[in-house]
Structure 1
Amino acid sequence: MRRIGAWLFALMSGMLLSACGGEDSGGASATSNAQLQGTNKGFALSTVIWKQFPIGVCWDLSNADFALYATQRSWSQQAVEASWEAHSGVVFTGWQQCTNAPNYYGIRISLEDSAANGPHTQGLGTQLNNVVGGMVFNFTFRNWSPSCVGREEYCIRNIAAHEFGHALGFAHEQNRPDTPSTTCKEPAQGTYGDTMIGAWDLASIMNYCNPQWNGNGQLSATDIVMAQMFYGVR
């Protein structure tokens, strides 16, 4: 479980989409089929791990929306605190409105409810540093995944925990080369990693084949090992 797997060499970047059901929302893929065929798959991207703490988090929202979605913002922050922060040495700070500071160090979150695109990040880890639209959440679910209407807290918490895994540098579990094709039919998607940790993990919060969507917002034992490997213990 704690043994580090083979080092791979695939640093393809792109958008990571997550859906309220663990499936691709149908948005544009980060890499073409030709690229996927020629790319080794990974788990964590070691070149984009954050080196300084705390990592800032801010919301690219108008004053009105920042106030309107106070409860949803709180659910998101609590989900990250109960998952990645609770089980590793990573620290996030801020969670206020974004400014135009040119040297801002951290993750900027915006909101979108588009039928074409689900919540996503544009890359992994430090690739998101001070990127407008680097992380996108959905708080309303009128167009994308309307099955979340009436259970918004559940969906928002699960989305936040999953997407912050990407923000820490962790790729989708089904992107690994040892993904069992007979039991996991979800296609590889988004940015690839270069490091595998432990055995392929069905229970990973980053695995679309997990029968519990986004792991119900909970890290698996392997997720915790991975987080502590790169970010230390709390």
Structure 2
Amino acid sequence: MSLKQVWVVSCLAMGLGCGGAADEVSGEVEAVAPQLGTSKAELYLASSTIWPKRTFSVCWENPTYGDPTDDMGRYWTRQAVEGQWARVANLAFTGWGACTSAYSDVRIRIADANPITNWLGKGLGGVYNGMTLNLTYDVWANTVCGLKNSSGYYVNRETCTKAHAVHEFGHMLGFAHEQDRSERSTVEPTCTESSPWFTPTGDSKVTAYDTLSIMNYCYGDHWKHFGELSVLDVEGVRQVYGGRPGTLVGGAGNCLDTEYGSTADWTLTKLNRCDPSQPTQAWTRQSNNSIKLNAANRCLDVRNGSTTSGSQIQIYTCSSGAGGQTWIFDKAVISGNNGKCLGTVSNATTSGTTVVMADCNPSAVGQQWTLTTNGEIKNVNGLCLDVRSGNTADNTALQLWGCNSSASQLWSLQTGGAIRGLASKCIDVYGAGTTAGSSAVLYTCSGTTSQRWHLRGALKNPVSGLCLDSIGGASAPGTNQQLYACNGTAAQTWSYFF
């Protein structure tokens, strides 16, 4: 495992972003126990390191073009990063050519050494040799990587290259070693893996402790799955960077799709592995509470307009006012991309209560919201999300107030995750705060991270009172949907990235 210069560790331990020294190169001293990656992040997130953008330029410091091993290793790396992080979240990685004097967000050094990331999150931007990846494993090896068969061929080079790439790019996004979370002592008490050379700097636990995370040393099966992200890895990166616009994400992080990618009437819906190139995975919530497929004039529909439990869900030509095409997010949380949700001070639900960011808890009554057809966002007591005193100034606080259909209470979901309201300004977090208790405010729309939101909760058909449900509680690709009694289970929990 590579150690960084002491001042780098100190900087991160104090919770600083450390992004100001973009041209510094971290020194490295080899330690004894090679493991999967290094860095100082958590999934369990160091929120000050979140990148404010979603597209990143990547380059190689020292590629050897024409060398089969080098060429294939670089191909595997790109394939793994784009097939994991970029597939499940609203992220893009561009370039992938040789580095020049021009700026690149991620500059990768190829070396037969322990893979490392010298900086955390946005602090990596433009750093020379900021990340090191191993494509050969001739010199450096661990108990899995570098093994050869009887013919002298590496048996795990592809697996190791992909697993290391996904792990290190997790650090690049601001996530750290999962096993450094305090919960490990009770969840995985027999695991002895640790990162003792730095103080963990995470200030936001985005998901529950994840024994299967690609960022967790205690998990020994990274190699078997080519660096496949766990279900909670997927949930975590979507919480922080958002999902692909238009996706409705259900169980196990899979997306609502149509059978065979068809856009014909009567086509059933199903869960499918999220794929940004698949047009039948993009949906738009309409003002009349229908959910329209972007690829055609087809809406999410209950077959034959049935109101009975077990009725099949399909797509059908959109028809305004059709009961079988009406869906409301019932008591949904409004989640920000910093892993916090819109809530209220002390979880109160009374008029005049200030709206703040809170640790996401779908059971908390102060975080349960319902979107109406006229643009209101109501709480469990029927009060509306309101701009205090109708003030249009930036940083005006949001509150709960009696619904009156005024401009201070009318909101619209915008592509890219913004919620636009009074004076065409957006819901924001005061000072771009990332901690619980930060005030929710009205602010000029800018597309920043603190203005990106998504909905998570049940989709209820108000005509029947039943919810969109994955049959049998299953979450695997190919699972069809039905109407079913609302029960709050994972099979009825949908994240909508608008």
Q: Which interval holds the TM-score relative to the shorter structure?
A: 0.7 to 0.9
Aligned to 1:175: 180
Aligned to 2:47: 46
Aligned to 2:221: 212
Q: Structure 2: how far apart are the matches of 1:153 and 1:109? A: 18
Q: Structure 2: how far apart are the matches of 1:94 and 1:213? A: 27
- Displacement over 3 Å in runs of 4+: 12-16, 189-192
Percent of pairs identical after alignment? 35
Cα separation, partners in 2 of 1:151 and 1:128, compared to 1, 3 Å: same
Cα separation, partners in 2 of 1:223 and 1:60, compared to 1, 3 Å: same
Aligned to 1:137: 133
Q: Structure 1: how far apart are the matches of 2:43 and 2:157? A: 31
Cα separation, partners in 2 of 1:15 and 1:154, compared to 1, 3 Å: farther
Q: Choose 1 or 2 for highest CA Rg.
A: 2
Query: Which protein has greater RCO, CA pairs closer than 8 Å, 6+ apart?
Result: 1
Q: Secondary structure at the match of 1:226?
A: helix
Whether the aligned pair in 1 keeps the contact of 2:191 and 2:218 (CA below 8 Å) is yes
Aligned to 2:436: none
Q: Structure 1: how far apart are the matches of 2:92 and 2:242? A: 11
> Per-residue CA shift, 1:100-127, capped at 9, x if unaligned?
12xx14100011113xxx1010021111
Q: Secondary structure at the match of 1:96?
A: strand
Aligned to 2:74: 73
Q: Structure 1: how far apart are the matches of 2:116 and 2:71? A: 21
Q: Structure 2: how far apart are the matches of 1:202 and 1:86? A: 22
Letter in 1 for 2:34: S
Aligned to 1:202: 211
Equivalent residue runs for 1:1-234 within 5 Å: 11=15, 24-25=33-34, 43-62=44-63, 65-68=64-67, 69-101=70-102, 104-114=103-113, 118-145=114-141, 146-147=146-147, 149-180=154-185, 182-188=189-195, 192-213=201-222, 216=225, 217-234=227-244
Q: Structure 2: how far apart are the matches of 1:211 and 1:219? A: 13
> Per-residue CA shift, 1:45-75, capped at 9, x if unaligned?
111111123100000015xx13322211110
> Per-residue CA shift, 1:145-176, capped at 9, x if unaligned?
13373321111111111111011000010111
Cα separation, partners in 2 of 1:15 and 1:87, compared to 1, 3 Å: farther
Q: Secondary structure at the match of 2:88?
A: coil
Cα separation, partners in 2 of 1:15 and 1:219, compared to 1, 3 Å: farther
Cα separation, partners in 2 of 1:214 and 1:196, compared to 1, 3 Å: farther
Aligned to 1:34: none
The alpha-carbon deviation at position 11 of structure 1 amounts to 2.6
Letter in 2 for 1:176: R
Whether the aligned pair in 1 keeps the contact of 2:44 and 2:207 (CA below 8 Å) is no
Q: Give the TM-score normalised by the residue count of structure 2.
A: 0.38
Q: Secondary structure at the match of 1:147?
A: coil
Whether the aligned pair in 1 keeps the contact of 2:54 and 2:241 (CA below 8 Å) is no
Cα separation, partners in 2 of 1:109 and 1:66, compared to 1, 3 Å: farther
Q: Give the TM-score normalised by the residue count of structure 1.
A: 0.77
Cα separation, partners in 2 of 1:54 and 1:73, compared to 1, 3 Å: same
The alpha-carbon deviation at position 24 of structure 1 amounts to 4.4
Q: Structure 2: how far apart are the matches of 1:155 and 1:214? A: 6
Structure 1 or 2: more strand by fraction? 2
Unaligned 5+ runs, structure 1? 1-8, 17-22, 32-40
Cα separation, partners in 2 of 1:153 and 1:215, compared to 1, 3 Å: closer
Letter in 2 for 1:227: V
The alpha-carbon deviation at position 140 of structure 1 amounts to 1.1
Q: Structure 2: how far apart are the matches of 1:88 and 1:51? A: 14
Q: Secondary structure at the match of 1:123?
A: coil
Q: Secondary structure at the match of 2:74?
A: helix
Structure 1 or 2: more helix by fraction? 1
User: What is the Cα-based RMSD across aligned positions, in Å?
Assistant: 2.9
Cα separation, partners in 2 of 1:121 and 1:11, compared to 1, 3 Å: same
Letter in 2 for 1:45: A
Alignment length (residue pairs): 203
Whether the aligned pair in 1 keeps the contact of 2:45 and 2:175 (CA below 8 Å) is yes
